[in-house]
A and B are shown apart, each in its own frame.
Chain A
Amino acid sequence: MKKNAVIAMILAGTTLLSACGTNNSGVANSSPYASGTGSPAASADGGKLEILTGNVGGKTPEGNAEFEKELSEKLGLDVTLDKPASDYDQKVLTSLSSGAKYDLIEISDLAKLDVFINQGVVTDLSDFVQNSTVLSDPSVIPTEEWEQVKGPDGKIYGVFSKFQGATMPIIRKDWLEKLNLEEPKTLDELYTVLKAFKEDDPDGDGKANTYGLSTSGLYDIQGIMSAAGLKSRYVMQEGKRTIPYATDAAIPMYEWFAKLVKEGIMDPNFITNDTAKMRNLFLTDRVGMITYWDAWVGMFNNLKKTEDPNTTFQAEGILSIPAADGTILMRRGDPDFWIIPANAPHPEAAKKFLEFWNTQEGITLGSLGVEDFDYTLDNGAYTLTEIGETANMDHGVPYWYNSTVKSPFPALPGVEDAMALSKQYATLELSLSTWPDAEKIVNNYALKAMSGQMAAKDAVAQMQKELKGANLID
């Protein structure tokens, strides 16, 4: 009996441990130092730094480990870099709600910042930023940019992780040239160009297998809706919440898209496309224009050039179609920024990182990666390794604010022109907490109108009715 009891106890113990082991995917265990093996001895308070990030770090587990090691050495801190492979936003929320403690969390959604402020999650960084010789320098971060990361109380709650560009129409310039077409400047000209992309065999394979335009649902048609002067998401007018895409002014725009769909000029999968599918169509000569990020202009050209040095492929970012009064609307993306959670165990270490991240050393690490792993430096000459080539000079900071730091490599083809347009014309969108609910309604009816499933007039009327009914517009 005794022997059986001992066996049972062992069985019970091992089962319990294995059960716990398979479910404990919490923060403590995700840290390589938590197990106590190979861990540098925990230094005094401030000597550790735990970071939760979606973009920063290596592109592979090995690359991430190298990045973590390099960051530890550069900062003189024991750095833990937690970079989930997927579902980053969910990881942030589950971590915060479960009481997990990080010193820094990367966020890329301004609407979330407001929510986090309301939920008491974030630390006020106003004094730190204003007193920091690095961060208060306008050449490091232009003064007006800080407005983006201020809360409703005017306090600064975040520090930028990288420079975020804008979205715009991206067109096949080589197709334009081949078909003797000019860059479109009006909606009619855009229609003519897109129709030619569909019908005039721009890829020269003798088959009618190309489309004029592809999007990924309603993301991001701002460059075209600009023609009617319609800004995406919310716009406050005389203190009232309005959604321009849900106004009568949007009707002719939806009708314009429906015409493209009806004539087969628009990629018929635009509703179900994700952005990767849309990019692939563009890269595989299936479509002449998409609407996407400025940074991708360079990446498209670079990818095709790497694939085939003799390629004629040439992507170009173009201006949004101007409205009747000449206004050009472009969508600037929400910035990627760091917050220090209210429960951060080592806020001083986090501040040390935030300053470092915006210096030449930090920017080099965030762009080129780790020396002798992602790149080599020989007598001032930088060379990317094979791993570095794959990472495409993006370890969380493909572009940055600090104007005193120059990239050792020339910009990817076309990206500087595209970004110049962004800097000149792009503006942020207004993110209100009710947008997720409103977005469902706007997307639903806008897509129905664009695809011709519903008359644009009826779709907009229904959109307005539901938005008002749910108190999502005033």
Chain B
Amino acid sequence: MRIIKKNAMFYMMMIPIVVYFAMFAYYPLVKGIQTSFQDYKLMGERPYIGLDNYDLVIHDPSFWDALWNTLYIGGGILIIGFIAPLLIALSLNEVMKSWFKKTAQMLLYVPHLLSWVVIGGIFIFLLSPDTGLVNMLLVNIFGMNPINFMADESWARSIMIGSAVWKDMGYNCILFLAGIAAISPSLYEAARMDGATRWQQVRYVTLPQLMSTMKVIFLLNTLGLLRIFDQIFVMRNPAITSKVDVLMMYTFQKGIMEIRFGPAAAASFFVVLFTLLLTVMVRKITRFDEV
């Protein structure tokens, strides 16, 4: 009690934050869970129907397709989107010319600032079979037939993964570079005195010292794995939906397009549940608590 009194000002400052999260995060979450047990109608009676909505979702093949697509695309983004910026950050760290380093960072970061509407438009344009730069190169330099990348199922997931990685590469790269910058120079000095080469310095100093940053970034990216939506919404088309429709698209389809809020809420609950499970798994695997 004495401690509470002593820090009363700080506790009071926390009130709006707690109220904010209660109102705009936890209240909707609880309402969503409630809806998932109801025959939810826009107006009038909303009777409770037990687990019917969950039963419907579980027995809907589209849901499992969407889950598999989410894990495939989200997993790809998680892994490649983790490794690629790490490699670039390590490479940039070895670059001595600061102007090159700064320019490269800036250029890599710019796509992160653009919305998916812009990025989607850029990719659709670049990959267009008649006027797209990629196909022009394939046709004019390699003499290949144009590929309709955006309408071909065999390319669909790779394009989603590639574009997502490209978009956020700079952002993750900056986080890694910040972690690298925090490593004590004395460690490198000691390694050099022991005769370590540049590669050995990376292998035995940078990577171990960067481990905690890597764990944080990996965990943060895991949290977003099942929530991919904007990108798919912008870049999908009817020819590739079966390969790219993700869980959030499924929820959107059920809730907004079909006005079936009960099943949509049940599907959303699964997203929350799966995210929780994934996060716990990643924490265990990465021994996050040892950060």
Q: A-side interface residues toward B, CB under 8 Å?
A: 1, 4-5, 7-9, 11-13, 15-16, 19-20, 23, 89-90, 93, 96-97, 112, 115-116, 118-121, 217-218, 267-269, 271-272, 341-343, 433, 436-437, 440, 443-444, 447-448, 451, 453, 469-470
Contacts and interface: CB of A to CB of B under 8 A. Distances in A.
B256 A8 contact: no
A90 B256 contact: yes
A453 B240 CA distance: 12
B8 A23 contact: no
Contact of A4 (B9, B20, B237): B9
A92 to B, nearest CB: 10
B3 interface: no
B182 interface: no
Contacts of B9: 4-5, 7-8
B185 interface: no
B76 interface: no
B24 to A, nearest CB: 6
Contact of A269 (B13, B129, B153, B257): B129
B146 interface: yes
Interface string B8-39: 11101101110110011000000000000000
A12 B12 contact: yes
A451 B151 contact: yes
A245 to B, nearest CB: 12
A272 B41 contact: no
Contact of B41 (A1, A112, A120, A217): A120
Nearest to B257: A436
A11 B150 CA distance: 51
A192 to B, nearest CB: 23
A5 B20 contact: no
Interface in B234-291: 237-239, 241-242, 253, 255-259, 261
A269 B253 CA distance: 25
Contacts of A13: 16
A446 B9 CA distance: 65
B16 A447 contact: no
A217 B237 contact: yes
A211 to B, nearest CB: 9
B96 interface: no
A332 B24 CA distance: 43
A120 B261 contact: no
What's the dominant secondary structure at chain A's contact region?
helix
What's the dominant secondary structure at chain B's contact region?
helix
Nearest to B253: A436
Contact of B130 (A8, A218, A268, A469): A268
Given A97-B261, A115-B259, A269-B129, A448 B13 contact: no
A470 B61 contact: yes
B148 interface: yes
A193 B230 CA distance: 40
A269 B128 contact: yes
B238 A96 contact: no
A269 B148 CA distance: 8
12 contacts: A8-B10, A12-B13, A16-B16, A19-B20, A119-B41, A121-B43, A218-B238, A268-B130, A269-B130, A271-B148, A272-B150, A272-B151
Given A5-B8, A447-B151, A116 B20 contact: no
B16 A12 contact: yes
Interface in B18-73: 19-20, 23-24, 41-44, 61-62
A444 B15 contact: no
B124 interface: yes
Contacts of B257: 436
A217 B130 contact: no
B12 A9 contact: yes
Nearest to B152: A453
Given A112-B259, A120-B44, A272-B150, A8 B13 contact: yes
B194 to A, nearest CB: 52
Nearest to A267: B130
A23 B21 CA distance: 12
Given A115-B259, A120-B42, 6 more contacts: A5-B8, A8-B9, A16-B20, A217-B238, A268-B130, A440-B242
Given A120-B43, A120-B44, A444-B238, A12 B15 contact: yes
Contacts of B23: 20
Contact of B237 (A97, A271, A343): A271
A90 to B, nearest CB: 6
A5 B12 contact: yes
Contact of A23 (B24, B238, B242, B259): B24
A313 B152 CA distance: 35
Nearest to B238: A443
A271 B150 contact: yes
A83 B259 CA distance: 21
A457 to B, nearest CB: 18
A11 B23 CA distance: 19
Given A5-B8, A447-B238, A119 B259 contact: yes
Given A4-B9, A268-B148, A271-B150, A447 B42 contact: no
Given A12-B15, A93-B259, A272-B151, A440 B238 contact: yes
